[in-house]
Structure 1
Amino acid sequence: MRTIDDRIVHELNTTIPTASFVGKVDPGQTCKELYESLMDAHTNRERIIKNCISQTSAVVKTLKEEREKAHEDAALLKQLRKEQTKLKLMQSELNVEEVVNDRSWKVFNERCRIHYKPPKSQ
């Protein structure tokens, strides 16, 4: 899911020309396309993670309600703990996502700031 972020430096090195090759490639268009790819990837990953968090939260809520009714059910408690752990991992994944996104935008801005100005939404 993070292929574009993992390869951003390589992508920029191979697509944004040095001064001697600037006439053969349109760096503005290349940076615009990379910007749009990054935006799409970041938006989609965040949406997917938040969707997983929402679904897991619903499962945890259901298991908690069942636990209220059956205090002695060890299997239910084990399942609840498992789902709570999964929920915490997903929530921490949002923090990881923020770090990855920040790194990618920093590299993008360093290399593309003279070739492309993103819209004000970023």
Structure 2
Amino acid sequence: MRTIDDRIVHELNTTIPTASFVGKIDAGQTCKELYQSLMDAHTSRERIIKNCIAQTSSVVKTLREEREKAQDDVALLKQLRKEQTKLKLMQSELNVEEVVNDRSWKVFNERCRIHYKPPKSQ
């Protein structure tokens, strides 16, 4: 899922020309395409993670309600704890996603700032 972020430095090194090759490659277009790829990947991953969080939160809520009715059910308690752990992991994944995104945008901006100016939405 994070292939583009994992390979951004390599991608920039192989697609953005050095000073001696500036005329042979349209760096502005390359940076624009990379910008769009990053935006799409980041938006997609965030949407997927948030969707998983919403689904797991719903399961946790349901299990909590069931737990209120059956306080002695050990299996239900184990399932609730398992789902709560899963929810915490997914929430921490959003923090990881933010760090990965920040790193990618920093590298992108360092290499593409003279070739492409992204819209102000980022």
| Match of residue 8 from structure 2 | 8
Matched, 1:99 2:99: yes
Instruction: State the distance in 2 between where 1:79 and 1:25 align.
Output: 56
| Match of residue 39 from structure 1 | 39
Instruction: State the distance in 1 between where 2:25 and 2:74 align.
Output: 64
Deviation string 1:31-86 (CA, Å, 9 cap, x unpaired) is 00000000000000000000000000000000000000000000000000000000
Shift of 1:108: 0.1
Shift of 1:16: 0.1
| Match of residue 60 from structure 2 | 60
Aligned residues: CA RMSD? 0.3
Instruction: State the distance in 2 between where 1:70 and 1:120 align.
Output: 53
Deviation string 1:76-116 (CA, Å, 9 cap, x unpaired) is 00000000000000000000000000000000000000000
Provide structure 2 residue ranges, at least 5 long, that are not aligned to the other structure.
Answer: none
Shift of 1:24: 0.9
Tell me the TM-score normalised to structure 1 length.
Answer: 1.00
Matched pairs, number? 122
SS in 2 for 1:28: helix
Instruction: State the distance in 2 between where 1:71 and 1:109 align.
Output: 54
